[in-house]
């Protein structure tokens, strides 16, 4: 079954010297080991750093792996909080990463109070403009020490390292986390939920299911939605870009 085609699709490429998309299982002992490919949540976080408003929810449609998957292990000296002494840990990073990403946004139905901010064309235009500028906030690949760089691209353009590999599976993986204000299912309302799946790369491309379509869900804890409104002075919506719109309309 083919996925529906959305009008507000954005495409971009993200590159970096290192990436650390941590497997939660390896974090318990203080040492981190990366997945071989980025998670849905990490790519959504990158796009949210480029542009985000509580009015919209980003959905990652697909990622294309452009460079060969390489890892390197680095010894890290972490300070112990108890006595200030350092402790040696080993972090396993991805090296020289390059991805093409395709995504779209939908309205956040949990935010009916923000209906006045639902202007699809303007949100889409701003998102594309922010991609051209490299994002509104710092981009990082899984963790803060792995700086990333974003720029526009045509999804599918260029030669990828796995274009001729028909199928490659990566086993059981974290897909992402669903928060209370974006819960797509009634049973997820008021909760933080982790989603898991079995990703498969076909000819270099991994197509992501929507969070509610993942085969496995695990409730983490209950949580409350944060309230946004102009009355609380923590939301201004598209008014933030009013001067830019006026400049466009004058042209």
A 10 A CB-CB count for 64 gives: 24
Determine what percent of the chain is predicted with pLDDT higher than 70.
85
Extract the tokens encoding 145: 């020490």
Q: Which of 175, 179, 129 is nearest to 150 (CA)?
A: 129
Domains and CATH numbers, the chain: 10-250 (3.30.70.2660)
* Burial per residue of 179-188, b for 16 or more beta-carbon CB atoms within 10 angstroms, e otherwise: bbbbbeeeeb
pLDDT for residue 56? 93
Task: Dump pLDDT digits (tens) for 173-206.
Answer: 999 999 888 887 767 777 889 999 999 999 999 9
Contact 61, 103 (CB under 8 A): yes
Q: Phi and psi (nearest 5°) for 18? A: -140, 155
pLDDT in tens, 93-147: 999 999 999 999 999 888 888 888 899 999 999 999 999 999 999 999 999 999 9
Structure confidence at residue 251 (pLDDT): 42
Whole-angstrom distance, CA of residue 194 vs CA of residue 189:
13
What is the structure's pLDDT at 221? Answer: 86
| Dist CA 21 CA 65 (whole Å) | 14
Whole-prediction pTM: 0.85
């Amino acid at each position: 079954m083919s996925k529906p085609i959305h009008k507000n699709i954005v495409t971009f490429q993200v590159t970096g010297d290192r990436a650390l998309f941590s497997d939660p299982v390896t974090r318990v002992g203080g040492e981190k080991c990366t997945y071989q490919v980025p998670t849905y949540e990490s790519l959504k976080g990158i796009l949210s750093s480029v542009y985000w408003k509580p009015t919209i929810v980003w959905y990652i449609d697909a990622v294309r792996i452009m460079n060969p998957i390489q890892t390197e292990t680095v010894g890290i000296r972490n300070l112990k909080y108890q006595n200030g002494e350092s402790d040696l840990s080993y972090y396993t990073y991805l090296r020289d990463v390059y991805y093409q990403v395709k995504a779209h946004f939908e309205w956040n139905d949990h935010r009916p109070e923000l209906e006045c901010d639902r202007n699809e064309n303007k949100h889409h235009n701003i998102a594309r403009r922010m991609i051209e500028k490299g994002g509104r906030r710092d981009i990082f690949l899984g963790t803060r020490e792995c700086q990333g760089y974003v720029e526009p691209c045509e999804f599918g353009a260029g030669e990828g390292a796995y274009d001729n590999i028909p199928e490659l599976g990566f086993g059981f993986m974290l897909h992402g986390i669903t928060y209370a204000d974006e819960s797509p299912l009634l049973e997820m309302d008021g909760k933080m939920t982790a989603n898991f799946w079995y990703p498969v790369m076909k000819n270099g491309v991994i197509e992501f299911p929507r969070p509610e379509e993942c085969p496995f869900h695990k409730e983490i804890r209950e949580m409350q939605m944060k309230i946004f409104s102009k009355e609380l002075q923590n939301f201004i919506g598209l008014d933030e870009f009013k001067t830019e719109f006026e400049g466009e309309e004058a042209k």
